[in-house]
Each structure stands twice: as C-alpha cells, then as structure tokens.
Amino acid sequence: MRPMSGKEFARLLEKEGWELRRVKGSHHVFTKSGNPAKISVPIHKNKSLKIGLLKHLLKITGISEKELLEE
C-alpha cells in the first residue's frame, strides 16, 4: 500500500461521493448519503496518514486498495 496524505485521501473521498460536512481544526468530517458512517480525516499539511488509520478508513468507506493504486 502506498503512503497517502490526508489531502489526497480527502480528494479520493470526494471523488467517491463523500461530502465534506464540517472542519474542526485539522480534521475534516465527511458523510455520504445512504451510509451512516462519519469519516474524520486528519489533514496535517502533506504528512502521510499512518498505515493502520488508512486501512481503517478504507474499510469503513468500502474503497479497495486497488483504487488507491489507480489514483
């Protein structure tokens, strides 16, 4: 799995239909209609997300690792 910054992941979420609902500090909260989950993405400049957090967010959103490679 390739490293990905919070900014890159936020763009991927928007591409997949997630909407930015609010920003609190450096955390951007996304929701998607039909999905009860709220996703909080830490955006700290261009710093990469930790692998464990990235895998957890992918699992919640239903985005596959293959889609990360296509990005």
Residue ranges making up the domain that contains 19:
6-62
Give the chain's domain count.
1
CATH code of residue 25:
3.30.920.30
- Whether residue 52 lies inside any domain: the answer is yes
- Whether residue 67 lies inside any domain: the answer is no
Coil, helix or strand at residue 48: strand
- Whether residue 70 lies inside any domain: the answer is no
- How is residue 19 written in tokens? 């909407």
- DSSP string covering 13-45, please? HHHTT-EEEEEETTEEEEEETTEEEEEEEE--T
- Whether residue 69 lies inside any domain: the answer is no
Instruction: Read off the pLDDT of each residue in 56-63 and give the average, rounded to a whole number.
Output: 92
Give the model's pLDDT for residue 46.
87
- Whether residue 68 lies inside any domain: the answer is no
Q: What is the pLDDT of residues 2-40, one digit of tens each?
A: 889 999 999 999 999 999 999 999 999 999 999 899 999
pTM: 0.88
Give the model's pLDDT for residue 55.
93
What confidence tier does 66 reach under pLDDT thresholds 50, 70, 90? confident
